[in-house]
Amino acid sequence: MDLAQFFDILWSVRWPILSGIGVTALVSALAIIAGSFVGVFVGLALTYGVLPLRWLARVYTDFIRGTPVLVLVLASFYILGTIGLQLSAFQAGVLALAVFCSSHVGEIVRGALQAIPRGQTEAAKAIGLTFSQTFSYVLMPQAGRQIAPAWVNTAAEIVKASTLLSIIGVAELLLATQEVIARTFMSLPFYFHAGFLYFCINFSIERLGKYVEKKLAIPQS
């Protein structure tokens, strides 16, 4: 079989593949956005929360981080149903990935905030800033720069983890590819093709992260 033949077939299945890419991108983007949003609050609770809240956040992050993503996906699809909260496969998938993302972002945010020297908070207090002002103008801008690389890693992990949604029937890129393979019997080239697409997505995320990191860098000497 030559390449031209593969491209012919690829062209004929372009719509299911494109839709798979779209679903992968949408699921990942939703999970990353929601997960990061919640994750910032988890990180704040881990760092500054009063004791019971901090403890709760700690249990949440450790529990989620210690659970395989596949288990999270299956749990949010099957177990939530048994307690009367039946989500569609798509919703359950986004929820599982968002929860996974939030625990990682929470830990990243906590690490970044705690890495800021105590003198920064004290200097801010000394000029009379309140805690929320200190957080917005002194701590968050510094933590944000620290977070960027680790956050990009997490985003790439989410894209990879989105393949697990194929198991509960979300027609993301992997499942779309598998359906194409079932029709065309060309498993090797299509798996390569899917792998290449994932690589492209994550490579772009990484480049974007590098770009943002450079943009935000504080001039030294």
Binding site for another protein (CB under 8 A): 117, 119-120, 122-131, 133, 137-138, 141-142, 145, 218-221
**Min CB(74)–another protein separation in Å:** 43
Residues 6+ apart with CB under 8 A from 121: 134, 138, 139
**Min CB(106)–another protein separation in Å:** 23
Residues written for the chain = 221
Please say which residue, 12 or 120, places its beta carbon nearer to another protein: 120
Please say which residue, 58 or 145, places its beta carbon nearer to another protein: 145
**Min CB(148)–another protein separation in Å:** 13
Please say which residue, 136 or 187, places its beta carbon nearer to another protein: 136
The span from the CA of 163 to the CA of 152, in Å, is: 18
Please say which residue, 71 or 216, places its beta carbon nearer to another protein: 216
Residues 6+ apart with CB under 8 A from 27: 90, 93, 94, 97, 162, 165, 170, 172
Closest to 137 (Cα-Cα) out of 158, 120, 112? 120
**Min CB(104)–another protein separation in Å:** 24
